[in-house]
Chains A and B, each alone.
Chain A
Amino acid sequence: MPSAPAIRIAALTKRYGSLQALAGIDLDIAQGEFFGLLGPNGAGKTTLISALAGLVRADSGTLEVMGHNVVTDYRNARLKLGVVPQELVFDPFFTVREILRYQSGYYGIRGNDKWIEEVLSRLDLLPKANANMRTLSGGMKRRALVAQALVHRPPVIVLDEPTAGVDVELRQGLWQFIKELNAEGHTIVLTTHYLEEAEELCGRIAMMKTGRIVALDTTANLLSRFAAHSLEEMFMEVIRRD
């Protein structure tokens, strides 16, 4: 029996008042893929990720993570998913290590210190492990967000613009870590405005525009189909079209 896709999205719609944020999304992402979700601001990428994570309730359609419906089987679906949010959100009352211990507990994990230390180490966060979150720089806060998404070792990891406002050194380190996770079998879904990153990392890409997927293929095929030399060229071409 073939394994379930890491993510399955069928006929998904979401409307905010008069704005159709998602207008019938169909998308399967296989286990182990490094998948890029691209599009201009307001295309619906974050709404799609939020629906997948259960932060937003879709109007219609279905979403599954590793075969688990995110509404009817939300516990299993959420256990399989790690999300790095776009906004730099943090709890100002706690240290980095404390938030990682709490996050582990929310997922029902006790005694997770060994893994927490490893995540801290691989994200170069160990020197700041006992620092209060509000004292960290933007880049360090971003790393802490990534660490929080990984505490329960989810097989599917969604990164919503994880390198926004992050310096080159951290970006390189972060991508190295994410590539290693992908090589270990984790499915990675990435949204980013740094198109060269998506071109380098993603095996397959979906382009979204006004709540729809307007292009979906392997990165190589997309470049070839649009006769583009880079994703940026292709991106601009897609944006120009009606």
Chain B
Amino acid sequence: MTNPLPDSFSASSLIGFRTLLHKEILRFWKVRFQTVAAPVLNAVLFLLIFSHVLDRKIGEIPYTAFLVPGLIMMSLLQNAFANSSSSLIQSKISGNIIFILLPPISCRVFYASYVLAALFRGLFVAVGVWLVSLFFVDLPMAHPIWALAFALLGGALLATFGMIAGIWSDKFDQLAAFQNFLIMPLTMLSGVFYSIHSLPPLWQKISHANPFFFMIDGFRYGFFGQSDTSPWLGLSVVGFCFLALAALTLVMLSRGYKLRG
């Protein structure tokens, strides 16, 4: 049996990247009722309940319309985090991560495959929430490029954070702690359901320490052309957080932190 390997590492890496990306996408797609349909339904339930209870306006924007971009972004972020983190912890606990650690897959390929697959899941869910919400509310789209920029960068940020959580956690309850005590509070307090201008000054300042606020606010700017803070500032904050976490993840992968004994 002769060795059929490709001539160069760049060709090999590209095939490895496409394979790992495909596998990670198929992994969540095979259980799409759980990974895509259920989060869409959750977001729609939020929309129905809150829009029914709170029939008012945020500035000139009807509350239901104001709510939708926040729900879309919240779903995108939570699912991007859930995908990379759950995939890694399941692989670690079941032991099948060995099939990714044995081949010559570089840290960058490993990272890019997991983040992109998680971003795809987040975008699938986001598009699902957006399409369903069109039945309930007329949504403008003032600056689609801004919306897309925040969706991609925010999704990549949470996918990266999911990788860190998945690598660091040894047990499912540790990962659940990330979700319950970090992701969920930061999301709920980010302005998904309200404008921070409705908050007391102290809480407005505290909100500016929450990167999720900038992601939601910037994404909402893409729809309405109005935001609580400058979208450029938001993009800078989100971009900085993404670069910092990406660098940390690559260091963890290159050192084999909690992956290679």
List, in ascending order, chain B residues with CB within 8 A of A233's CB.
Answer: none
What total of chain B residues lie within 8 Å of the partner, measured CB to CB?
37
**Would A153 and B2 count as touching, CB distance under 8 A?**
yes
Chain B residue nearest to A89 in the complex (CB): B95
Instruction: Flag the segment in A52-60, A164-172, A189-197, A205-213 that touches B.
Output: A52-60
**Would A87 and B95 count as touching, CB distance under 8 A?**
yes
* Known contacts A103-B99, A108-B15, A153 near B104 by CB under 8 Å: no
B102 contacts chain A at the CB level, 8 A cutoff: yes
Q: In the assembly, what is the distance between CA of A101 and CA of B3, in Å?
A: 16
Q: Which of B96-113 contact A (CB under 8 A)?
A: 96, 98-106
Interface size class of A (residues with CB under 8 A): 35 or more
Contact of A153 among B4, B13, B20, B30 (CB under 8 A): B4
B56 contacts chain A at the CB level, 8 A cutoff: no
B26 contacts chain A at the CB level, 8 A cutoff: yes
A142 contacts chain B at the CB level, 8 A cutoff: no
B50 contacts chain A at the CB level, 8 A cutoff: no
A224 contacts chain B at the CB level, 8 A cutoff: no
B54 contacts chain A at the CB level, 8 A cutoff: no
**Among A16, A74, A103: residue with most chain B CB under 10 A:** A103
A39 contacts chain B at the CB level, 8 A cutoff: no
Q: Which of A76-97 contact B (CB under 8 A)?
A: 76, 78-79, 81, 83, 85, 87, 89-94
**Would B102 and A78 count as touching, CB distance under 8 A?**
yes
**Would B1 and A106 count as touching, CB distance under 8 A?**
no
List, in ascending order, chain B residues with CB within 8 A of A89's CB.
Answer: 94-96, 98-99
B16 contacts chain A at the CB level, 8 A cutoff: yes
**Among B5, B31, B95: residue with most chain A CB under 10 A:** B5
A54 to chain B, nearest CB (A): 7
**Would A102 and B19 count as touching, CB distance under 8 A?**
yes
**Among B20, B22, B23, B95: residue with most chain A CB under 10 A:** B23
The A/B interface has a contact count, at CB < 8 Å, of: 110
**Would A103 and B1 count as touching, CB distance under 8 A?**
no
- Residue interface bits B1-43, CB-to-A below 8 A is 1, else 0: 1111110010111011011101100110011000000000000
Contact of A110 among B15, B30, B31, B95 (CB under 8 A): B15
**Among A53, A87, A104, A106: residue with most chain B CB under 10 A:** A106
* Known contacts A75-B9, A91-B99, A106 near B16 by CB under 8 Å: yes
**Would B261 and A153 count as touching, CB distance under 8 A?**
no
A115 to chain B, nearest CB (A): 7
List, in ascending order, chain A residues with CB within 8 A of B27's CB.
Answer: 93
**Would A108 and B5 count as touching, CB distance under 8 A?**
yes
Q: Which of A34-65 contact B (CB under 8 A)?
A: 50, 53-57
A135 contacts chain B at the CB level, 8 A cutoff: no
Chain A residue nearest to B255 in the complex (CB): A57
B196 to chain A, nearest CB (A): 41
Contact of A53 among B3, B6, B102 (CB under 8 A): B102
8 contacts between A and B (CB under 8 A): A57-B256, A85-B95, A89-B98, A90-B94, A93-B31, A105-B22, A106-B19, A153-B2
A residues whose Cβ falls under 8 Å from a Cβ of B: 16, 50, 53-57, 74-76, 78-79, 81, 83, 85, 87, 89-94, 99, 102-110, 112, 115, 148, 152-155, 181, 184, 186
Extra contacts, 19 of them, besides A56-B260, A89-B98, A109-B6 (Cβ < 8 A), are A54-B101, A55-B261, A57-B256, A57-B260, A81-B102, A83-B102, A87-B95, A91-B96, A91-B99, A99-B99, A104-B19, A105-B16, A107-B104, A108-B6, A108-B13, A108-B16, A153-B2, A153-B3, A186-B1
The 5 closest A-B pairs by CB, nearest first: A105-B19, A108-B12, A89-B95, A106-B103, A75-B104
